[in-house]
Amino acid sequence: MSGENARPTVRIVIPDYNAETFVRETVESLLAQSYSKVEIIAVNDGSHDKSSAILKSYEDQILTIHQDNMGQAQALNKGWASSSGDFIGYLSADDTLKPHAVETLVEILENHPDHVGVYPDYELIDETGKAIKTVTAPEFSQRDLVVKGICQPGPGALFRRSAYERTGGWNPKLRQLPDYDFWLRLSRFGDLLRVPQVLAGFRVHEGSQSFAPSSFEKAEEPWRVMTDYFSNTAGLQPRLREQESLAMAHAHLLSARLHWRSGRKLDGHRHLFASVQYSPAAFFSPLGFKRFLSGWLGRIRYKYQHGIGKIKSN
């Protein structure tokens, strides 16, 4: 068996819902990978735009699965269930990877067998694919992930299938934080590793979900996810269990911020009160106060920080 054939197979799933504007660029970025053993699965999640036709044009190069609109979590779970790669990942239908991204990530994951996944730094890109800002991802810390609610992995992350199968995939009941919930559960089986190279592009535009206001149910997810996390004691380290109150306080602050950004001030105040009841230290920390301010300043601050105002003025 040649050395190349012995390398791990990587399966990357693209969940597509009405992403006709960007999905071709996403697919092309995966087809351009320098790593030869990449298999691409696109899941058309009930799109009613031209996504189906665009994906059909790649039928000799990628596998496309069609389903009724069931949400991103169900789309990803179906795509991953249809694959058998050693390493798996996903790429949103408006994001991109650099040509050497998979090769770099696979090599690092192979060289760190004690880690369950890897994730790179990335760029924010505009509607045209132009880079507008470089984002240095935080170094992985399970404590920060759990207690502070800091989701370190961004676009381009890869993880081991063995760990994914133990974790159980994305929770289809979640619409705001299915990725964060997944990383929380995955981290029970090992650490992730940041790769300090810009290997992905995260697109910011008016239609992106991260820019949209959150419904009431979506805004409630942070504290509910954290409640579920601590209710399952299997594999939960004592050092994290001891900080449950602080973790719940930060989770309620995250819910408060989402409500405030979406115009529901009283709901935000309710979660702020709950946060202080759990632990005043969360609110009075630099991170907690930052979340408070970002919630009140809302979408205007988000647009400024991520360059959307600059994009629209060009």
Q: By the 8 A CB rule, do 114 and 44 touch?
A: no
304 & 239 share domain: yes
160 & 17 share domain: yes
Q: By the 8 A CB rule, do 255 and 247 touch?
A: no
193 & 232 share domain: no
63 & 162 share domain: yes
Domain count, the chain: 2
Question: Rounded distance, CA 195 to CA 105, Å?
Answer: 8
Q: By the 8 A CB rule, do 154 and 218 touch?
A: no
pLDDT for 257: 96
pTM assigned to the model: 0.90
pLDDT tens by residue, 188-227: 999 999 999 999 999 997 755 555 789 999 999 999 999 9
Q: Please give the average pLDDT of every successive group of 10 residues along the chain, which has 314 residues.
A: 76 96 98 97 96 96 94 94 88 98 98 98 95 97 98 98 94 95 97 99 76 88 98 91 97 97 94 98 94 79 51 34
Instruction: Tell which of 208, 226, 259 closes a domain.
Output: 208
Instruction: Tell which of 208, 240, 256 closes a domain.
Output: 208
34 & 155 share domain: yes
Q: By the 8 A CB rule, do 248 and 223 touch?
A: yes
Q: Phi, psi (5° rounding) for residue 7?
A: -70, 155
pLDDT for 312: 37
pLDDT for 302: 52
222 & 309 share domain: yes
74 & 19 share domain: yes
144 & 247 share domain: no
Question: Rounded distance, CA 265 to CA 298, Å?
Answer: 11
Q: Which amino acid is at 9?
A: T
198 & 282 share domain: no
Domain membership of residue 114 as a residue range: 3-208
266 & 175 share domain: no
> Domain holding 140: CATH number?
3.90.550.10
21 & 67 share domain: yes
77 & 47 share domain: yes
pLDDT for 84: 77
Instruction: Tell which of 159, 187, 208 closes a domain.
Output: 208
**Helix spans in the chain (H):** 3-6, 23-31, 51-56, 72-81, 101-110, 142-147, 161-167, 178-186, 216-231, 238-241, 244-261, 265-278, 280-283, 286-305, 308-313
pLDDT for 299: 55
